[in-house]
Structure 1
Amino acid sequence: MTAERPRTSVNAWRPSVPGISEVFHAHFTDHAYPVHTHDTWDLMILDDGAVDFALDRRLHAATGTAGVLLLPPGVPHDGRTVTTSGFRKRNLYLDDSVLPQRLVGGAVDSPVLDDELLRHRIHQLHVSLGQSGDEFESECRLSFIRERLHFHLDALRPLAPTGEANRLAGRLRELLDSRIPVGISLHEAAATLHAHPTHLIRCFKQTYGLPPHGYLTGKRIDRARHLLLDGLRPAQVATAVGFHDQAHLNRHFTRHVGTTPGRYRRNLTAPPAQPPPPTVVV
């Protein structure tokens, strides 16, 4: 009796994050891509299996979960599974605002990057892209991926925080504090403060110990707690403090506080009963 082969599955969407034109997750068992090109950069990680592909008529292979594949725009390529179990992959299609066309040659020469840090950052970005309302976090994570790709293709070293890091971080904190309910994009913050996005994030984390998206989420949670104790319903609170919806509030509130907003509101509307004083033996 022949074992049933796992089914092909595909999931694709367009996130509200500048620079990413499409997110594509797939499990292919026997699909073979014909030779084709993209208008965008194709950044791919494997979660299982192996693939063979030809890029600009040169053969390449990727196996396991350590490497990163970067296929440049306008260059013909194909792809196929190697094993009967197929492969699972996650793709990001990136436009020229992330990587300029002048870097195509370097990607053609080395489309498979052995970089565990880059792969981990791409995985983190996919996780945040799968959560509605976390676009600011996704934008921050994409900024570090862009920097790492430039390091591989353009030999650009990241800027280290300087003596002005605290001043720049303080200005960003003031900006975030003034925009808690409405939020701000990383692009707007960097333009307002005249700083490179990743340099801005590094300065903030060096000064305050957490990235700016984590700081903004924490401030929103603090406001949510106060409003819940004032008697507002979780759905009202989510909108008031800047979360995408109640599910978005629930996810972050539970992670920060250890309970859902609804339970927090119900359990803390009255002070808990106090134990009786101890009996004093004379």
Structure 2
Amino acid sequence: MSGDRPRTSVSAWRPQVPGIAEVLHAHFTDHAYPAHTHDTWDLMILDDGAVDFALDRHRHGATGTAGVLLLPPGVPHDGRTVNASGFRKRNLYLDDSVLPQRLAGRAVDAPVVTDGLLRRRIHQLHAALVHTEDRFEAESRLSFITERLHSHLDALKPRTPGHETNRLAARLRELLDARIHVGISLHEAAAILYAHPTHLIRCFKQTYGLPPHTYLTGKRIEQARRLLLDGRRPAEVATTLGFHDQAHLNRHFTRHMGTTPARYARTRSGSAAPPF
């Protein structure tokens, strides 16, 4: 009977985020990967269940949601379910602009990393990648993941914001304000300001209390409110302010204001009480 067949679901896409070659979300209940290699790094978290795998002829296991699996490029590995419930996983396939090939040997020695902060950051990145239009946020989250992975593999410590913090943060804010309508990527901003992406984010957050992608979205919502009350249509507002489309505007506007752009715009006629 078809209802007795093992359930498998797979979703994959290629986001427009530098460094990420592919995103894969999957649920396997009865599946075994044959031995294979990747040209990319495979960064995986489990959402449920357990997986058994061999890497460079040594077997490993991972259970639950505590660990992070990092499989290096060019090294043979397999993978299989452990019990009838299988496992749910989310993978990021990262190119060598994120992690250089020279770190592969260290990843072979310890492919399962127990790091709650790293796991949480990977989860947050996956949530951002589901909404392909939120590229700035995804780039920001990937930068912190990259830094954290380097700290495990290369013993690098993140740079602490110093005396230049306020100056660098102010320059980034000026850049964001000037690019509200057209947007800017994190890597472009870092190149213009001659700063490492994660250092740039830390300086901004220390100075203004929120990360730059959150600041940019807030400024766009602020301008959207004005345009809507001027009588502009939501679809036109979305295009004017650099949102990917009207649905992108709707999602962020509703999260900020508790109502949709169209309902907010109707308050200008006096047919509904103003939100404040």
**Superposition TM-score tier, normalisation by shorter sequence:** over 0.9
Deviation at 1:183, TM superposition (A): 0.6
TM-score, normalised by the number of residues in structure 2: 0.96
Deviation at 1:268, TM superposition (A): 3.1
Partner of 2:197: 197
Describe how 1:110-129 pairs up with structure 2 within 5 A: 110-129=110-129
Q: In structure 1, what residue type is equivalent to 2:235?
A: A
Partner of 1:65: 65
CA distance in 2 between partners of 1:111 and 1:33 (Å): 17
The answer as to 2:211 corresponding to 1:211 is: yes
Structure 1 unaligned segments of length 5 or more: list them. 275-282
Partner of 2:258: 258
CA distance in 2 between partners of 1:194 and 1:221 (Å): 29
Q: In structure 1, what residue type is equivalent to 2:221?
A: I
Does structure 2 retain, via aligned residues, the 8 Å contact 1:6–1:85? no
CA distance in 1 between partners of 2:59 and 2:209 (Å): 44
Deviation at 1:163, TM superposition (A): 1.2
Deviation at 1:273, TM superposition (A): 7.6
CA distance in 2 between partners of 1:269 and 1:101 (Å): 61
Deviation at 1:269, TM superposition (A): 2.9
CA distance in 1 between partners of 2:272 and 2:12 (Å): 48
Q: Deviations over 1:91-111 (max 9, x none)?
A: 000000000001101100000
The answer as to 2:26 corresponding to 1:26 is: yes
Percentage of identical aligned residues? 78
Deviation at 1:162, TM superposition (A): 0.4
The answer as to 2:242 corresponding to 1:242 is: yes
Q: Which has the larger radius of gyration?
A: 1
Partner of 2:182: 182
CA distance in 2 between partners of 1:71 and 1:85 (Å): 23
The answer as to 2:170 corresponding to 1:170 is: yes
TM-score, normalised by the number of residues in structure 1: 0.94
Partner of 2:103: 103
Q: Deviations over 1:42-79 (max 9, x none)?
A: 00000000000000001100000010000000000000
CA distance in 1 between partners of 2:47 and 2:156 (Å): 28
CA distance in 2 between partners of 1:260 and 1:66 (Å): 37
**Paired residues, what number?**
274
Q: In structure 1, what residue type is equivalent to 2:14?
A: R
RMSD: 1.6
CA distance in 2 between partners of 1:103 and 1:40 (Å): 12
Deviation at 1:5, TM superposition (A): 5.6
Q: Deviations over 1:204-246 (max 9, x none)?
A: 0000000000000001001100110011111110000110000
Q: Deviations over 1:153-179 (max 9, x none)?
A: 000000011011000000000000000
Q: In structure 2, what residue type is equivalent to 1:49?
A: G
Q: In structure 1, what residue type is equivalent to 2:153?
A: L
SS of the equivalent of 2:176 reads helix
SS of the equivalent of 2:269 reads coil
Q: In structure 2, what residue type is equivalent to 1:205?
A: K
Q: In structure 2, what residue type is equivalent to 1:78?
A: D
Does structure 2 retain, via aligned residues, the 8 Å contact 1:132–1:248? no
CA distance in 2 between partners of 1:271 and 1:227 (Å): 18
Q: In structure 2, what residue type is equivalent to 1:103?
A: L
CA distance in 2 between partners of 1:132 and 1:265 (Å): 26
SS of the equivalent of 2:79 reads strand
Does structure 2 retain, via aligned residues, the 8 Å contact 1:5–1:85? no
Does structure 1 retain, via aligned residues, the 8 Å contact 2:6–2:30? no
SS of the equivalent of 2:69 reads strand
Alignment CA distance shift 1:55-1:247 (3 Å): same
CA distance in 2 between partners of 1:226 and 1:110 (Å): 53
SS of the equivalent of 1:228 reads helix
The answer as to 2:66 corresponding to 1:55 is: no
Q: In structure 2, what residue type is equivalent to 1:204?
A: F
Alignment CA distance shift 1:49-1:272 (3 Å): closer
Partner of 1:139: 139
CA distance in 2 between partners of 1:256 and 1:82 (Å): 43
Partner of 2:269: 269
